Structure formats: structure tokens, C-alpha cells
Amino acid sequence: MRISYRDVKAEILNRIRSNTWPLGTNLPGEIELAKEFGCARATMNRAMRDLVDDGILERKRKAGTKVKQSPVRQAQFSISIVREEVEQAGSVYSYSLIERELIPAPAWLRERIKVAKDAPILHLKCMHYSGKNPYQFEDRWINLDVVPAAREFDFEDVGPNEWLIQQIPFSTGELVFSATNAPESIARFLKAPVDTALFSVERTTWLEDKSVTYAQLYFARDHKMTTYI
Amino acid sequence: MRISYRDVKAEILNRIRSNTWPLGTNLPGEIELAKEFGCARATMNRAMRDLVDDGILERKRKAGTKVKQSPVRQAQFSISIVREEVEQAGSVYSYSLIERELIPAPAWLRERIKVAKDAPILHLKCMHYSGKNPYQFEDRWINLDVVPAAREFDFEDVGPNEWLIQQIPFSTGELVFSATNAPESIARFLKAPVDTALFSVERTTWLEDKSVTYAQLYFARDHKMTTYI
């Protein structure tokens, strides 16, 4: 019976699972293994390549192939446009501005983003909806030194998230995930009881050494953010 | 006066910020720009390379250089070992097992991870501490078909997170972030009032087409998870 590369993969995985080949084990060479498994070398090669692609095995130039240890993976994260998030979920997006004010940056914000003490900063509060349901409450600060055009923009019809992404690039972003018991001022807009656990993301972006914007986003109750690694 | 590549970078960023060069703009060629800026071509090249590395500009083989549009970034996410998280924060890690049971997988779990209807699954509840403070409550399910060695392991001294990472590789992982109002059964271990908003991560991992494990992790109140993009 001809042994397929799928059989070979399954047997390699069996040996890893059963601890015959614990994590970090250096595997025998391809030729030797093909002999042991009774398969063609090309079959062994295909199976091992597949397992390298899957992140199970790892190839070192001189050291041969080994079973990979404590994997660190990349997750795709975008500074996403909330409109697209909602629309991709098959729902109708809408937006409304709650408040827009030009004020001197408060001290806690000046510790977080670099702005001059008396420089006015643009503060916006807005709501994003998915169909008729609240989707996200956005509390946004924009550094007018870096984004002077925001001073003239009214944000009545287009939200700061969408506007900024089309307006200005960023070089570094920080994302902070946490949970917050909804205060009354936010619960009201998200139509949730006070103290409901809300999933929250703080986003700070920089353009080189200058802070562009800081936003705290509160998602409606039961929101889940999924990513794959 | 000799123009430095830093001056050139600053001027390019100015033009982007002021919308002279909006996102997506194709820039003139390097030679032409160097002439306009009155700098050496090598200086312009260095400035542009830097801005490409920073994710502000983007080079297309034939189309030249343009101002990058709606950036999607990679964030590093590991299936981290909770011990290392705590120790890296400069604290002393400790662990305790709350409960260990071998039971048939409940229906909701069978919808999430592929296990046979009457196959026993290992269910563990444990606590992780940072110094004297609760750090994380772990509710863990292990597929014994894939990880048979877990059946014999008592998990009294080593937690499933640490043990699994040393034991078995995975090919895909799903991470789901959300917020939960702490139920009494968890609040008690995290020393938080009932209904405190807890940041929670659900982690499911697969080895090829088999589910390895599903865990729901509840972090102590006010926990923040930070990542950079």
C-alpha cells in the first residue's frame, strides 16, 4: 500500500502527542525518516513542509528539523473603521455626534499624550449603531497641533474614527484592552443597566514622536472581539 | 546649511499632515524630490527609507513611493505562560488547583470543540496569584483524545497552561476578548465584589483538525492587556 503524505503527517503528530517526540526534539533527517516510515522521500518532504507551514515543526538551516517550542504567533489587528466592522457583520451602520468641544487638555491626558499645557484639544463624544442597536460609545481626543484640519471639521455626519483614518497616517499605535463597569453617562447611550461589564479598548496613535489621538471605545454589552493566531 | 535626513523627514510629515500630500498620494521620484528639497539624493533616500520602515510611506516596485493608506498592523500575541506574565511584572507567581474532574463533555463545549459524545474530558479550575493578589481565574477543558498524558497528571503543582505549553504544540489558536460581570463563584476567588467587570479571554487551540483545549480566563479587576501595532 502506498503511504500518503497525510498518513505521514498523522504519524508525526501522533509521535508528538504521545511524547515520543516531545517539544524541542530534533528529528532524524528526511532520508532516514522516509526509510523508517517506508515512504518516498518526496512524501516525507511534503509532510514535513506542511507541518512547518502549520507551525508544528521548525526548520533550522544547519540543525535540521525540530518540533517547535512555545509558539509566539502574529495576530492581525487593524485600527479598524467601525462602519466596516458593522457592515461586515451584515448590519446597517449609523453614527451620531453627542458632543464636540475645544478645551485645554486635562492633566491626565497630558500625561498620556504629549500636548502643550494650554494648547486646545478637540474632545468628541459619539455613538455608533448597528441597525437600531447601540454598538460603540467613542470618547475621543484629537491633537490639533498634529491634525489642524480637525478644528474646522464638524464631525456631524462622519465620525472621528473614519475621518482620521482617511486623513492622517500613524507610525505606532497602542491598544489597551480592559473591562469597565458602565457609568451612568455611558450606560444610557449603550442602553445597558448601570454597572454592566463593558469591553473597552483604549487606542493611542503617534505619528513619529507626536501624539495624533487618544480614544476610549466602549462596546455594547456582550461584545466579543475575536482574533486568530 | 546642510539639510539632514531628519529635516527632510519632518518636511515630508508636514506635507502629509497638512494634506498637501493626502493619504494615497504618489510621491515624485527621489531625484526630483531631492532637487526640490535642495538635499543630496542619499539624504532623500535615507529619509524615505525611514518613513517606509515607520509604516508612513509605502514602496511599490514599479509605481514608486506613496503615502500609505489605512494601515493594517501586526500585533504580537502569544499563548503566554501566566507565570512569565506575573514574573515579568516583577512579582512572585503562585498557583493553586481548585477543582479537577473527569466528566463527559457538556453539550455547549461539544459545539465549540470537537469531542465524541461520551468521551470523558478533563475539567480544571485553578487560580493564579501575583504576590498575595489574585491574578487570574482559569476554567480549563482538555481533550484527552489529543492529550492523553493529562489523564495521569494531577495539576497540583503545575497549572494546565504551563504544562500544556511544554507538552503539546498547536497549529491554530482562537482568542476571544470580552467583559463579564463576575458571578459569585468567580468573584470569591478574585476577591472582587459580585458583578465587578472582569476582562476575560477565551482561548481555543487546535492541532491540525483536532481540538486540544478550551480555556476561559478571568483576570482580576482593573486588569489591562496592552499591545502595540
Q: What pLDDT was estimated at residue B20?
A: 85
What residues contact residue B99 under an 8 Å CB cut-off, 6+ apart? B123, B124, B125
CB contact under 8 A, A168 and B207: no
A–B interface: beta-carbon pairs under 8 A? 194
CB contact under 8 A, A208 and B9: yes
* B149, closest residue in chain A (CA to CA): A18
What residues contact residue B80 under an 8 Å CB cut-off, 6+ apart? none
Averaged over B57-68, what is the pLDDT?
83
Task: Please give, rounded to a whole number of angstroms, the shortest distance from the CA of B24 to a CA of chain A.
Answer: 9
Q: B181 at the A interface (CB within 8 A)?
A: yes
**pLDDT tens digits, residue range A187-217?**
999 999 999 999 999 999 888 778 899 999 9
**pLDDT tens digits, residue range A33-52?**
999 999 999 999 999 988 88
**pLDDT tens digits, residue range A11-24?**
888 888 777 888 88
A165 CB neighbours in chain B (<8 A) are 70
* A79, closest residue in chain B (CA to CA): B72
Averaged over B59-74, what is the pLDDT?
74
Give the Å distances, CA to CA, from A25 to A12, A59, A69, B147, B172. 12, 12, 9, 18, 21
Q: What pLDDT was estimated at residue B72?
A: 56
Residue type, A150: A
B119 pLDDT above the threshold of 90: no
Determine contact, residues B194/A194, Cβ cutoff 8 Å. Answer: no
CB contact under 8 A, A208 and B146: no
CB contact under 8 A, B175 and A19: no
Q: What pLDDT was estimated at residue A71?
A: 56
A119 pLDDT above the threshold of 90: no
CB contact under 8 A, B173 and A73: yes
Q: A226 at the B interface (CB within 8 A)?
A: yes
CB-nearest partner of A224 from B147, B172, B177: B177
A179 CB neighbours in chain B (<8 A) are 179-180, 197-200, 223
A85 pLDDT above the threshold of 80: yes
Burial track A195-214 (b if 16+ CB lie within 10 A, e otherwise): bbbbbbbbbbbbbbebbbbb
Cα B46 to Cα B27: distance, rounded to the nearest angstrom? 15
Q: What dihedral angle (degrees, nearest 10) is formed by the CA atoms of B218, B222, B227, B229?
A: 120
Tell me what percent of the residues of chain A surpass a pLDDT of 70: 95
Three-state SS for A85?
helix
pTM: 0.79
The region of weakest confidence among A76-80, A110-114, B58-62, B189-193 is A76-80
Cα A84 to Cα A105: distance, rounded to the nearest angstrom? 30
CB-nearest partner of B177 from A167, A169, A199: A199
Q: A71 at the B interface (CB within 8 A)?
A: yes
CB-nearest partner of A23 from B73, B169, B180: B169
A84 CB neighbours in chain B (<8 A) are none
Burial track A29-58 (b if 16+ CB lie within 10 A, e otherwise): ebeebbeebebeeebbbbbbebbeebbbbb
Determine contact, residues B120/B110, Cβ cutoff 8 Å. Answer: no
Task: Mutation target for A interface from B11, B17, B57, B226: give the one with most A CBs within 10 A.
Answer: B17
pLDDT tier, A25 (very low <50, low <70, confident <90, very high otherwise): confident
* DSSP symbols for chain B: -PPPHHHHHHHHHHHHHTTSS-TTPBPPPHHHHHHHHT--HHHHHHHHHHHHHTTSEEEETTTEEEE--S-EEEEEEE---HHHHHHHTT--EEEEEEEEEEEEPPHHHHHHS---TT-EEEEEEEEEEETTEEEEEEEEEE-TTT-GGGGT---SSS-HHHHHHHH---SEEEEEEEEEEPPHHHHHHHT--TT-EEEEEEEEEEETTEEEEEEEEEEPTT--EEEE-
Which of A62-76, A154-168, B67-81: highest mean pLDDT? Answer: A154-168
* Residue whose C-alpha cell reads 457538556 in the numeric block: B106
Averaged confidence pLDDT in chain A: 88
Give the Å distances, CA to CA, from B149 to A140, A174, B211. 50, 40, 15
**pLDDT tens digits, residue range B20-29?**
888 888 899 8
- Strand-pairing partners, residue A213, are A142, A205
Cα A131 to Cα B90: distance, rounded to the nearest angstrom? 46
CB contact under 8 A, A75 and B77: yes
CB contact under 8 A, A75 and B74: yes
- Strand-pairing partners, residue B179, are B199
Cα B139 to Cα B185: distance, rounded to the nearest angstrom? 11
B141 pLDDT above the threshold of 80: yes
Q: B72 at the A interface (CB within 8 A)?
A: yes
CB contact under 8 A, A79 and B71: yes
* A14, closest residue in chain B (CA to CA): B146
Task: Please give, rounded to a whole number of angstroms, the shortest distance from the CA of A147 to a CA of chain B.
Answer: 6
Q: B98 at the A interface (CB within 8 A)?
A: no
pLDDT tier, B144 (very low <50, low <70, confident <90, very high otherwise): very high
Task: Please give, rounded to a whole number of angstroms, the shortest distance from the CA of B177 to a CA of chain A.
Answer: 5
